């Protein structure tokens, strides 16, 4: 286990860098807002999940036991959650595809989990589905009614933001500004435009609905995460993550309703990542029709882990501009790291501690602990690969760093080094030919190995090889 050192994180609540101190000195309770499974998750969505996964890896690198929960939202959101208007996204997808909402949820959940594995996301301790926690959502809503923080209006239940004095502290909004800027009348039994739904009554033809003390209906989006996180992690969390568009209204409302229900601070550290943007600085979103999925990357001949590496090249709080050229550059850079690891694995060199190698380990540790400075951490890893350290030192550092980077350096290095028995025989014949200065035979064997997908090069320490048929062939960039 690596030595635990101080970690500093930028807390959205307060908007400043703070030293991380969990409630339990040894264990971290972390909740990540997961996908709404009415469509395929795209690369913009996965920036948030890679960030959360990297954060978990940093915490574990520092010796913490992390209990991570990432939910699956299989109860649809309205197309405009801020105003509580529009069509239920899950229901719309089901009707468009002539399938049940449950079928839609299963299909897109499976697709999300498959993509998550391709991106090497660690599996959370729990992945609760919202439909499995309706009872807890109803209980939490009733708790808020009983304490005077929520009110029933017909078949709906609303949270009364006027009962929570610090509403808006997370997002920087004030209740007065929200009311002044509201684009809807109070109407529908709401006391104030700023109040938000905890439970919405439904019409008989709605595909997804549940019985409640207030009639058949569906939970509000915000109450879902509060109920699931408190059930699985307790009434106080150390960390809650999401993209910046979750800050308001979702996380603002989560915070308000949770703290009103328990009387305790809900989350110690709120962390949010910036958007993945298109070259014209639009955020990547399904609603804008400018998304790319993991499958799209694979069809372009780009390994999914190249996208993970690409996200490490910008700080999580900085917008990241997507382009095929930039992604192809990341793929090339990652391939070099994989190839360097493959050659080091072929060395079978022992690790020998040294001042320079430990200084580089310290630099990496300092970078990741300083608000996840992944660009700097990647720079340290690249400097190791190109350094004059011993092969054993290089391999030890790169594999140690990959506990945080999540780039599967060992697995890919082994795959690139893989040889069949007949190929090992050819490599041995070529080694002997070079020893005997039979350059013509050496060249012939190099060609024979290349025809089998093995690229051989000669180094001061002998021949090394890379299996070229392991990595996908990048396609031409789209116009």
One digit per residue, the tens of pLDDT, for the chain of length 479 reads 577 899 999 999 999 999 999 999 999 999 999 999 999 999 999 999 999 999 999 999 999 999 999 999 998 655 444 444 456 777 888 888 888 889 999 999 999 999 999 999 999 999 999 999 999 999 999 999 999 999 999 999 999 999 999 999 999 987 777 765 544 444 568 899 899 999 999 888 888 999 999 999 999 989 999 999 999 999 999 999 999 999 999 999 999 999 999 999 999 999 999 999 987 777 777 667 778 999 999 999 999 999 999 999 999 999 999 999 999 999 999 999 999 999 999 988 888 889 999 999 999 999 999 999 999 999 999 999 999 999 999 999 999 999 999 999 999 999 999 999 999 999 999 999 999 999 999 999 999 999 999 999 998 889 999 998 888 876 665 54
Can you tell me whether residue 418 is helix, strand or coil? coil
Model pLDDT, residue 301: 94
- Residue spans of the domains in the chain: they are 8-273, 294-416, 418-467
Q: What is the pLDDT at residue 82?
A: 46
Over its C-alpha atoms, the chain yields an Rg (Å, rounded) of 26
Question: Which 3 state secondary structure label does DSSP give 152?
Answer: strand
Please tell me the predicted confidence (pLDDT) of residue 80.
Answer: 46
pLDDT at 96: 84
Antiparallel, parallel or unpaired: β 267-273 and 237-243:
parallel
Can you give the pLDDT at residue 84?
Answer: 47
Residues in the chain: 479
Give pLDDT tens digits for 177-231: 776 554 444 456 889 989 999 999 988 888 899 999 999 999 998 999 999 999 9
- Give the whole-angstrom CA distance, residue 311 versus residue 307: 6
Q: Tell me which H or E stretch contains 32.
A: strand 27-32
Would you state the pLDDT for residue 287? 67
Task: State the pTM of this model.
Answer: 0.93
**Nearest residue to 167 via CA among 141, 204, 206, 195:** 195
CATH architecture of 8-273: 3-Layer(aba) Sandwich (3.40)
Domain 294-416: give its CATH code.
1.10.730.10
Percent of the chain as helix, strand, coil, to the nearest 5: 45, 15, 35
- Edge-to-edge strands, sheet with 156-159: 150-153, 156-159, 196-201, 217-219
Element holding 66 (H helix, E strand): strand 65-70
How confident is the model at residue 111, as a pLDDT? 97
Q: Do domains 8-273 and 294-416 have the same CATH topology?
A: no
Q: What is the pLDDT of residue 425?
A: 96
Residue 93: the pLDDT is: 80
């Amino acid at each position: 286990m690596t030595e635990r050192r101080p970690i500093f994180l930028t807390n959205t609540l307060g908007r400043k860098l703070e030293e991380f101190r969990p409630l339990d000195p040894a264990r971290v309770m972390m909740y990540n807002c997961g996908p709404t499974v009415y469509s395929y998750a795209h690369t913009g969505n996965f920036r948030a999940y890679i960030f959360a996964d990297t954060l978990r890896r940093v915490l574990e690198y520092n010796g913490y036991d992390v209990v991570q929960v990432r939910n699956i939202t299989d109860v649809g959101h309205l197309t405009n959650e801020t105003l509580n208007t529009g069509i239920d996204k899950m229901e719309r997808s089901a009707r468009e595809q002539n399938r049940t909402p449950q079928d839609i949820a299963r299909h897109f959940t499976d697709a999300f989990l498959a993509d998550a594995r391709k991106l090497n996301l660690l599996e959370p301790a729990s992945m609760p589905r919202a439909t499995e926690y309706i009872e807890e959502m109803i209980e939490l809503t009733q708790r808020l009614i009983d304490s005077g923080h929520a009110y029933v209006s017909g078949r709906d239940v609303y949270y009364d933001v006027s009962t929570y004095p610090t509403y808006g502290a997370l997002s920087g909004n004030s209740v007065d500004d929200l009311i002044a800027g509201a684009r809807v009348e109070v109407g529908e039994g709401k006391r104030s435009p700023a109040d938000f739904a905890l439970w919405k009554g439904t019409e008989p033809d709605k595909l997804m609905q549940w019985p409640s003390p207030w009639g058949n209906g569906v939970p509000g989006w915000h109450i879902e995460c509060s109920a699931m996180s408190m059930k699985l992690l307790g009434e106080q969390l150390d960390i809650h993550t999401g993209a910046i568009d979750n800050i308001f209204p979702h996380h603002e409302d989560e915070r308000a309703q949770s703290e009103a229900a328990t009387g305790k601070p809900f989350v110690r550290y709120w962390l949010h990542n910036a958007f993945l943007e298109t070259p014209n600085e639009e955020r990547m979103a399904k609603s804008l029709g400018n998304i790319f999925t993991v499958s799209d990357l694979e069809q372009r001949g780009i390994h999914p882990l190249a996208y993970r590496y690409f996200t490490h090249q910008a700080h999580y709080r900085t917008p990241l501009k997507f382009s095929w050229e930039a992604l192809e550059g990341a793929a090339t850079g990652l391939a070099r790291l994989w190839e360097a690891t493959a050659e080091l694995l072929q060395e079978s060199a022992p690790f020998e501690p040294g001042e320079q190698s430990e200084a580089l380990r310290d630099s990496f540790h300092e970078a990741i602990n300083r608000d996840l400075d992944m660009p700097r951490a990647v720079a340290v890893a690249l400097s190791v690969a190109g350094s004059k350290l011993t092969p054993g030192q290089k391999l030890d550092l790169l594999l140690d760093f990959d506990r945080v980077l999540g780039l599967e350096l060992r697995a890919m290095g082994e795959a690139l080094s893989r040889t069949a028995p007949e190929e090992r025989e050819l490599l041995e014949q070529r080694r002997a030919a070079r020893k005997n200065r039979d350059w013509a035979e050496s060249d012939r064997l190099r060609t024979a190995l290349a025809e089998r997908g093995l690229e051989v090069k000669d180094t001061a320490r002998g021949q090394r090889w890379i299996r070229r048929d392991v990595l996908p062939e990048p396609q031409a960039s789209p116009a």
